[in-house]
Structure 1
Amino acid sequence: MRDDRDDPFDEFFSEIERMMNEMMAGDGDVHFERNTPGSQDTASDVHLDIHEGDDEVRVVADIPGIEKEDIDLKCDGRTLHLDATGDGRTYREQISLPVPVVETSAQATYNNGVLEVVFDHDDDSTSIDI
């Protein structure tokens, strides 16, 4: 006949059982914060890609849940300002551009939650011969 008092795993399993009982003894009232329709999410979760080509800068931003007419873009030549609100989401980004751009050259498209803005490089600087 076996004596359980001598089982080396008895204490281990007893401790696991105690922890499980302690865990399960809660009232089960668990709360998760999540955005629901009608609530405003002020956190900006914009995935950005900035590509610098030989003569252009391309900014690609993922901003799902927004209508095209709810997107406001402004550029000062060095920074692209993105403001968009809709479907319980708010995006506000100041995107530093890698080089100065001609802000009036901007061409923007928005399709399936992906915003793409293309600028021409600003080549106003003049080289100085020595």
Structure 2
Amino acid sequence: MNRDDRDDPFGDLFEEIERMMDRMAGVEDGPGDGSGFRSETHVDTYLEDDVVRLVADLPGVSKEDLSLQCDGETLTVSAASDRREYDERISLPVRVDERSASATFKNGVLEVVFERADDSASIDLE
């Protein structure tokens, strides 16, 4: 016996929950729309002792297609391939020294490491 989706009393509820979750995550077109990070990419950010490490899965992207920019608070990852385009701004958990960044890209996995920025600067009095 085949299941008839019209008989699912929770179908509409689950669809509405997915729409609300997409809206909270900033996804306009919903999951699976081929827009990049929002639908297919998993991004993890790790706050370690003196560094911030970000790991992102970028399927179907080559190293030559990647562009990374950081302003100390946000990392922007952009890439264009034949099949998809990525353009994602990732808020970092703490301020980082963007000039300390090191990045590797192997087998579709991007890893970026930043040193944490000093929380404050001392001011010398004369």
TM-score, scaled to structure 2: 0.65
Q: Flag the 1:98–1:91 CA change in 2: closer, same or farther, 3 A.
A: same
**Aligned twin of 1:42:** 35
Which protein shows a greater Rg?
A: 1
Given the alignment, which residue of 30, 40, 55 partners 2:50? 55
Task: Please give the per-residue CA displacement for 1:55-78, whole angstroms capped at 9, x wherever unaligned.
Answer: 000000000111101000000000
Given the alignment, which residue of 39, 56, 63 partners 1:68? 63
Runs ≥4 residues deviating over 3 A: none
Aligned-residue CA RMSD in angstroms? Answer: 2.4
86-95 or 70-79, which deviates more: 86-95
Q: Is 1:78 paired with 2:73?
A: yes
Which runs of 5 or more residues in structure 2 are unaligned? 5-31
Partner secondary structure for residue 106 of structure 1: strand
Aligned length: 92
TM-score, scaled to structure 1: 0.64
Task: Please give the per-residue CA displacement for 1:65-108, whole angstroms capped at 9, x wherever unaligned.
Answer: 11101000000000000001113011111000000000000000
Which runs of 5 or more residues in structure 1 are unaligned? 1-15, 20-34
Letter in 1 for 2:50: D
